[in-house]
Structure 1
Amino acid sequence: MQPPSRRTLLSLGLLALTAGPLTACTADRTGPAPEVTGPRPDPDAPVRLRAVAASDALLAGYDALPTPPDARAAGLRAENARYRAALAEGLPATAVPSPPVTATPTPTPAADGLAVLERRTAEAHLADLDAAGPSLARLLASVAAAHALHAAVLGAPAPPVTEQTGASPSAAPTATAGTAPVIGATAVVVAVLQNALGAEHAAVYGYGVVGARLPDDPQRTDARTAHAAHQAQRDTWQRLITSLGAAPTPAAGGYQLPFPVASAADATRLAAHLETRLTGVYADLVTVVPTPHRRTAALALRDCALRAHRWGAPDQPFPGISGPAPTATATAG
């Protein structure tokens, strides 16, 4: 896990001075102004404190299980405690309440109630994306995806269709691609969006291979659903890139697969690889994309993590920021 960013905030205050000796003294002063020392406020502190509070509520839910937790629940609680520690990193010890300690308070519903709490915590983190600095936003998106995975492990159904990625970025202004050079900060955003678009092109191609190697059963249906989701996400990034005045990079003629795909087992492995790779792409995108579109990138990260889990990939403790995955290579054709 990368350490959170440290942004600084310089506050300027105006002091009304009365006329008289104090004014004269100020006017006679020479030399540079004294340097302001001491800790500067962390603008991410309020977001971190809210994230810690949401984590504490979730941990309290685990501690309120009517019976001692089984190995699965104990493992999920331990992961949630790790997320709390990551979100609290950098906060003064006096500002952070003590973490909950496993106890036996009033019983609550077991797995179904915990799944609801996991979903609620994920949504709380997503709601604060635009208020966070880039590095903290990346962490919030990753931890939100992890809570969605926990909910899936606890048996919760997939998120509603309206919450799936692929929605059109309505906040994006329209523009004609190539009307002016893309420079400055916008060029950085476009470059990262082009990278996400390229990864989606590769995923769309890869799922064509996956579907061709699977028998006509529920797995093939899953592959078709994932293929359509990646096409929709691809279209979303194309529209956003166009709105920023750039031309979306077209798909390559073909893509070099990371390994031969000759069987149904190879196909499921490829699907898991594609989704895992994309979690890293979207974790990076959250740090750069304009804030109105952070949620879209974070939901894409979440959905890729959930699909990777469904295809049998090992769950990452911090989806998207646990380490780089191999990439597919485009080929001419």
Structure 2
Amino acid sequence: MQPPSRRTFLALGLITLTTACTGTGGTDAATRAPTPDPDAPIRLRAVAATDTLLAVYDALLAAPGAQTALLQPLRAETAQHRAALAQGLPSATGTPTPSTSPTAVPTSAALAALESRTAESHLADLDTARPPLARLLASVAAANALHATTLGAPPDQPAPTPTPTTPGPPAPALQKALSAEHAAVYGYGVVGAHLPDDQQRADARTYYAAHQAQRDTWQRLLTTPGTTPTPAAGGYRLPFPVTDAPTATKLAAHLETRLTTVYADLVADLPTPHRRTAATALRDCTLRAHHWAAPTTPFPGIPDPLPTGPH
């Protein structure tokens, strides 16, 4: 960035002088009302939805014969979601609402359905949230989807990607995602070669095809604005030797976990018409990582989910 010119400084001085002469009785920036946070309504909706989830978890945990070992970790993650979503809100709204137990004890299936609806409500706000909050919403929605699956709901089926009708996304962000998908396609070729001919290999073939489809999606989006998509490399260095079924499944978990970070970042980097595609990819990678027994995290793809101010 070039340093300000003398004319710029003169213009700034004139603005400062005019403000001083026509101000409001000595009122300065320190005493003015703070600028409203444009993300506050979105955060409030997300917090309210999360409070409903917490109330249902509490009702299930208080019921006789509660599946404590299953529910407590999910409830703890949901409380972490609430804390992250409430960042920047006034202290009164940032305090958890006391849980009100439903009149009838809910079922695990009802909680799973509520987790799915909560995920969808977070995704509905992606287009109006600023990038850091959009990234957080997509991550929490992916965790909600994983909770729903853990509670017994069938995994969501990936929706077909529509043909782009809006200006293409920024090329650098998509090129990074495309490169990661090239590596995942290569990696799943290695995974499948070391798995026995059983359900695991069938799952690997399914996921291999899913990554090919996601790769093709990014290639189409990059081609739309006339950008040349990054081609796949002739080979990729594996993070560790793959010699048998256990190391093959470890590689699959590594590939999917790495992609969650790529897609969480991509949600923040893309313009609003394309965020949902990246958020869906984040969810799918989160579920696949869990399938391969990768360690779970409350915030898929985000190492530090607690931003402390406007970005």
Q: TM-score, normalised to structure 2's length?
A: 0.84
> What is the distance in 1 between the residues matched to 2:226 and 2:158?
30
Matched to 2:126, the amino acid is: L
2:56 aligns with: 61
Aligned mate of 1:31, from 21, 30, 47: 21
Q: How does 1:238-257 map to 2 (within 5 A)?
A: 238-257=219-238
Does residue 1:83 correspond to 2:81, yes or no? yes
Matched to 2:225, the amino acid is: L
Does residue 1:46 correspond to 2:41, yes or no? yes
1:140 aligns with: 137
Matched to 1:321, the amino acid is: I
Q: Structure 1 residues 82 and 173, CA, compared in 2 at 3 Å: closer, same or farther? A: closer
2:116 aligns with: 119
> What is the distance in 1 between the residues matched to 2:101 and 2:271?
44
> What is the distance in 1 between the residues matched to 2:52 and 2:112?
13
Does residue 1:167 correspond to 2:161, yes or no? yes
1:24 aligns with: none
Aligned mate of 2:290, from 309, 313, 325: 309
Give the SS at the match of 2:21.
Answer: coil
Q: Structure 1 residues 90 and 161, CA, compared in 2 at 3 Å: closer, same or farther? A: closer
> What is the distance in 2 between the residues matched to 1:80 and 1:63?
11
Q: Structure 1 residues 313 and 213, CA, compared in 2 at 3 Å: closer, same or farther? A: same
Q: Is the contact made by 1:129 and 1:294 (CA closer than 8 Å) also made in structure 2?
A: yes
> What is the distance in 2 between the residues matched to 1:281 and 1:230?
14
Give the SS at the match of 2:70.
Answer: helix
Give RMSD over aligned pairs: 2.1
> What is the distance in 1 between the residues matched to 2:49 and 2:101?
20
Q: Is the contact made by 2:142 and 2:286 (CA closer than 8 Å) also made in structure 1?
A: yes
Q: Is the contact made by 2:55 and 2:101 (CA closer than 8 Å) also made in structure 1?
A: no
> After superposition, what is the alpha-carbon deviation per residue over 1:19-41, rounded to whole angstroms, capped at 9, x for unaligned?
xxxxxxxxx99736454522110
> What is the distance in 1 between the residues matched to 2:235 and 2:246?
22
Q: Is the contact made by 2:56 and 2:101 (CA closer than 8 Å) also made in structure 1?
A: no
Matched to 1:212, the amino acid is: A
Q: Structure 1 residues 143 and 226, CA, compared in 2 at 3 Å: closer, same or farther? A: same
Give the SS at the match of 2:83.
Answer: helix
> What is the distance in 2 between the residues matched to 1:210 and 1:108?
44
> What is the distance in 2 between the residues matched to 1:145 and 1:74?
19
> What is the distance in 1 between the residues matched to 2:256 and 2:175?
18
> What is the distance in 2 between the residues matched to 1:104 and 1:247?
56
1:109 aligns with: 106
Q: Structure 1 residues 69 and 222, CA, compared in 2 at 3 Å: closer, same or farther? A: closer
Q: TM-score, normalised to structure 1's length?
A: 0.79
Aligned sequence identity (%): 63
2:14 aligns with: none
Report the alpha carbon displacement of residue 192 of structure 1 after superposing the two structures with TM.
1.2
> What is the distance in 1 between the residues matched to 2:68 and 2:20?
71
Unaligned runs of 5+ in 2: 1-17, 305-311
Report the alpha carbon displacement of residue 96 of structure 1 after superposing the two structures with TM.
4.8
Report the alpha carbon displacement of residue 85 of structure 1 after superposing the two structures with TM.
1.1
> After superposition, what is the alpha-carbon deviation per residue over 1:284-303, rounded to whole angstroms, capped at 9, x for unaligned?
00001111110100010010
Q: Is the contact made by 2:158 and 2:284 (CA closer than 8 Å) also made in structure 1?
A: no
1:289 aligns with: 270
Unaligned runs of 5+ in 1: 1-27, 175-185, 324-333
Report the alpha carbon displacement of residue 78 of structure 1 after superposing the two structures with TM.
1.5
Q: How does 1:96-245 map to 2 (within 5 A)?
A: 96=94, 98-101=96-99, 104-162=101-159, 167-173=161-167, 189-245=170-226
Matched to 1:31, the amino acid is: C
- Aligned pairs, number: 279
Q: Structure 1 residues 254 and 31, CA, compared in 2 at 3 Å: closer, same or farther? A: same
Matched to 1:39, the amino acid is: P
1:73 aligns with: 71
Report the alpha carbon displacement of residue 94 of structure 1 after superposing the two structures with TM.
3.6
> What is the distance in 1 between the residues matched to 2:250 and 2:227?
35
Aligned mate of 2:91, from 85, 90, 93: 93
Report the alpha carbon displacement of residue 322 of structure 1 after superposing the two structures with TM.
2.3
